[in-house]
Structure 1
């Protein structure tokens, strides 16, 4: 249920204030466990998770949210964006700066006011939206400030989702499934990638209009036909599909920023190379899903999938990580990845996307993905669309 907290129409935060306070408390517990005196949050996804505001105005300079145990959070934002921040967040203490060169001085003044000038403070040094020059400007003002890298602190807390977040994920996946079904039923000789994109968007819009929902497509969809399936993350064009060619779709719907992505492939007619590669991808996906359970490390799950590839003698067809944590702003750096050496321990309440995309000997990118919720006993596959290759 959306909670409107602003007099301006169609603004507010999507969850009750108590939900954001719960998240802030959990992050502050992690701050204490890391032996930090405070945390400066600057990654847009983390800002949205803790405050409701998506940080979109922060392209100009960082909009840090400062969390200190025993104190209400303080948001430092550009003066121009102040009213938007207040309209879309649940933070009361907002301090502004006017020009980009002012950022370091104003932020340092806030840290000084909070008594942090000689304390150990965590910054998200490895995340987007914080430049080395920004950190340097603060350090120049506060030479005794002890800066520590806390890039993964918020993401480690946000990895385990509450019920409100999981409902967003389920609603988003229902719309992703609609996009996939539309893709499969609309595939025909002569249809172009752009026409397919328009058909999918129209189906989503019709559903939203009929149900009054709040789900939309995430912007980065990949729709590729024929020889163009050799391109990773290629944009849709006027290229059309012919008989006996493969088709590739990676797409995700999103609700309140919680995205549920999925990969599915199809063949119009027959394409032995794509069919063979897809059969291997299906075996890998089934092995990965079976390997996921609470207490398992991310590296162990990754290894299970790579073992299938090794036994096949085709391990060179896979050139990426096995999967990653999903949810709110899943593209943040520092989020959990299923990859070699990853020591993160999986927990119930995490959602993972495993887009098992393989590259054939001649360069086609073909695969099958699974999007799962880790439960106390194993996993729940969120999508209702089978991961098998679709033949049109």
Structure 2
């Protein structure tokens, strides 16, 4: 069923001014023209949010956004979710599907009504929410249309943030730091990882944190080697290292901070590793400025760390921004590694990280004209000893 007019607004929470969304849309339309696309079907919830402001935790249900050269895109969502358009989005009209409808047939109806029966249509083939089944059915139900892979088209437009977006990341950074301080205050031998998580979550919500794209990672002792380990009832004991990776989230924009705590006097090996890692990342962050080579920035971290950890294959940083579970960032679009080389640009934002021998540290930074601005600037960059 089509809903052509919106119901009266009841508490509008649009995150950005309408003109900000229109500017984003024009940038995407420019990329469409550059790629010869007449129509774009978007299925990634981050990209739908970026262009419309629409969000829901019910994105498990089918939704898509149709972009053409027209001024306003067309959003197709589950009928029960339409209130979220009124609450969050600038759009003046939308389309819906109801239980019992064939969502793909409804999508084809919308495509045809917007003149797309014979168009060259871009699909986000790498999007988790565009299944192979949906893509195949779109092809069979639109036999005269042509389809092209438009994966990362919107994602790459998102790499350069507006000042309003960067301000959201700055606010998220302050939340992540407050959460980190709450964790440090409660951590003692005999406290469980779950108790630390409770303190972090409590502080985050009070500071304005939204639900995060990933759970906070709290890894004590041997669990350092359990990548992205969530908190457990495990008791934290003397002599252990505790690695914390905590997230702040404002208007779906994320900032992350990682710190390591030594429960008691650390070994000389750990102290030396911490000093090496911090110094290496300090040099990398110092080198982060418009025009910098990502490969050179990465080498400033990777080279020193490999002297004590030869198998260091991890990325040393990645683009951050909008996230819906199960992700907090844009690492799939742009990251710092030893293989790819690209140019750092003003308006980008990154989560920069480094780990070795049980110690880990990270910061979220925004790229300004003068270099890298730490949006998580208050907490000391050192091994914390309790």
Task: Report the TM-score when normalising by structure 2.
Answer: 0.89
**Does the 8 Å CA contact 2:65/2:73 hold for their aligned counterparts?**
yes
Root-mean-square deviation (Å): 2.3
Residue in structure 2 matched with residue 187 of structure 1 by the alignment? 187
Question: What's the secondary structure of 1:315's corresponding residue?
Answer: coil
Shift of 1:176: 1.0
- In structure 2, the CA distance between the partners of 1:74 and 1:205, relative to structure 1 (3 Å rule), is closer
Matches within 5 A, 1:297-376: 297-310=293-306, 312=307, 314-316=309-311, 318-329=312-323, 330-331=328-329, 334-358=332-356, 360=357, 364=358, 366-376=359-369
Whole-Å separation in 1 of the counterparts to 2:243 and 2:353: 12
Equivalence for 1:248 = 243
Which has the larger displacement, 255-264 or 143-152?
Answer: 143-152
Contact 2:318–2:331 (CA<8 Å) still a contact in 1? Answer: no
Corresponding residue of 1:291: 287
1:41 maps to 2:42: yes
1:47 Cα deviation after fit: 0.8
Q: 1:237 aligns with which of 223, 232, 235?
A: 232
SS in structure 2 opposite 1:59?
coil
CA distance in 1, matches of 2:186, 2:349: 29
Contact (CA 8 Å) 1:326, 1:351: kept in 2 or not?
yes
Shift of 1:98: 2.9
Instruction: Give the 4+ runs in structure 1 shifted more than 4 A.
Output: 5-11
Whether 1:93 aligns to 2:86 is no
TM-score w.r.t. the length of structure 1 is 0.88
Show the counterpart of 2:273: 277
**Equivalent pair of 1:216/1:255 in contact (CA under 8 Å):** yes
Q: For structure 2, list consecutive stretches of 5 or more residues without a partner in the other structure.
A: 1-5
- With over 3 angstroms needed to count, the CA separation of the structure-2 counterparts of 1:89 and 1:40, relative to structure 1, is same
The Cα shift of 1:119 comes to 2.3
Q: Give aligned pairs, total.
A: 374
Could you tell me how far apart the structure 1 residues matched to 2:193 and 2:18 are? 42
Does the 8 Å contact 2:277/2:304 carry over to 1?
no
Q: What's 2:128 paired with?
A: 128
Shift of 1:168: 1.2
Q: Residues 128 and 332 of structure 1 are in contact (CA less than 8 Å); yes or no, is this contact kept in structure 2? A: no
